[in-house]
Amino acid sequence: MEFWFTEDQSKDLRIGCRILETIHSETTPFQKLAVINTAQFGRMLVLDNVIQTTVKDEFVYHEMIAHVALNTHPNPKKVLIIGGGDGGVVREVVKHTGVEKVVHVEIDGRVIEVSKKYLPEISCALDNPRVEVIIDDGIKHVQEYKDTYDVIIIDSTDPVGPAVGLFSAEFYRSVSEALTQDGLFVAQTESPFYNEELITRIQKDVADIFPVTSLYLACVPTYPGGLWSFTIGSKIYDPQKADTTRFSELATRYYSPVVHKASFVLPPFVQNLLK
């Protein structure tokens, strides 16, 4: 007998993964949560039937959302991560030895607990002494802090249900206020093949608030279409002009200083979304 996990990536597109073992499954106060061992990608975190991360390909997303932003800032000391309860972004952020404090705000504590237990390769830095984990609503958190963070990383789920507010202009204004005077934020902003209107709207909203707005790309195999976008809003520093000679030496598999620069080179069809 074969067992398969199927994600509806849209009403017209599905991805299916052969299951070796269902390791964990529960319904939290916020969402359905599962960890599955798949034949293709190894252990996989699934929220509300959507693949969040897998042991095999998580390095692409986590490295690319963390290091582009952190290396753009010349001296990030205090970093806020919203979402990403699996701990993958935390793991990448603590690779930057200059970062003194990482505040990790995740709305669903069960994601953190389950990731600690079943995804140790990803969650391994959650107990790092520089990391403070807060179980709370990220939107509320940024509203409460002013002029506090050098870099804010928004590692949200898709813009449906609880994560919708993390894609709003109002939220980006709170993020701007929670950032220091030379701060910057990065957010995952979905697929340029499937979420064209969202990307166009976010780019406009962020550009209304931040002097520097940039979109960059990476290819994540388990996300719909592979090609994935990230948006940076920055008060001063331009990620495309960052001086790569001062970048930290990092143990990475997808990110590198040249990949940093190349990720901002957009195909014309993506460039057109930003006009």
For position 247 contacting a copy of itself by CB under 8 A, the verdict is: no
Span near a copy of itself by CB under 8 A; candidates 105-113, 182-190, 204-212, 266-274: 266-274
What's the rounded Cα separation, in Å, for the pair 210 and 201? 14
Is the distance from CB of 87 to CB of 116 less than 8 angstroms?
yes
**Least separation in angstroms between CB 112 and a copy of itself:** 27
**Least separation in angstroms between CB 268 and a copy of itself:** 5
Nearer Cβ to a copy of itself (16/161):
16
For residue 157 the two structure tokens come to: 């789920």
Site for a copy of itself (CB under 8 A): which residue of 224, 231, 237, 239?
A: 224
Is the distance from CB of 151 to CB of 183 less than 8 angstroms?
yes
What's the rounded Cα separation, in Å, for the pair 208 and 108? 31
Give Cβ neighbours of residue 211 (< 8 Å, ≥ 6 apart): 234, 235, 236
Is the distance from CB of 152 to CB of 178 less than 8 angstroms?
yes
What's the rounded Cα separation, in Å, for the pair 77 and 73? 10
Site for a copy of itself (CB under 8 A): which residue of 193, 236, 238, 274?
A: 193
What's the rounded Cα separation, in Å, for the pair 95 and 147? 24
Residue 138 annotated as binding site: yes
For position 200 contacting a copy of itself by CB under 8 A, the verdict is: no
Span near a copy of itself by CB under 8 A; candidates 140-148, 150-158, 223-231, 240-248: 223-231
Binding to a copy of itself (CB under 8 A) within 127-166 occurs at: none
Q: Is the dihedral of CA 108, 163, 65, 98 positive or negative?
A: negative
Nearer Cβ to a copy of itself (145/193):
193
Binding to a copy of itself (CB under 8 A) within 49-68 occurs at: 56-57, 59-60
What's the rounded Cα separation, in Å, for the pair 194 and 191? 5
For position 39 contacting a copy of itself by CB under 8 A, the verdict is: yes
What's the rounded Cα separation, in Å, for the pair 209 and 169? 9
Site for a copy of itself (CB under 8 A): which residue of 3, 13, 74, 146?
A: 13
- Give the footprint of a copy of itself on this chain (CB under 8 A): 4, 6, 10-18, 38-40, 56-57, 59-60, 193, 217, 219-221, 223-227, 252-256, 258-259, 261-262, 265-269
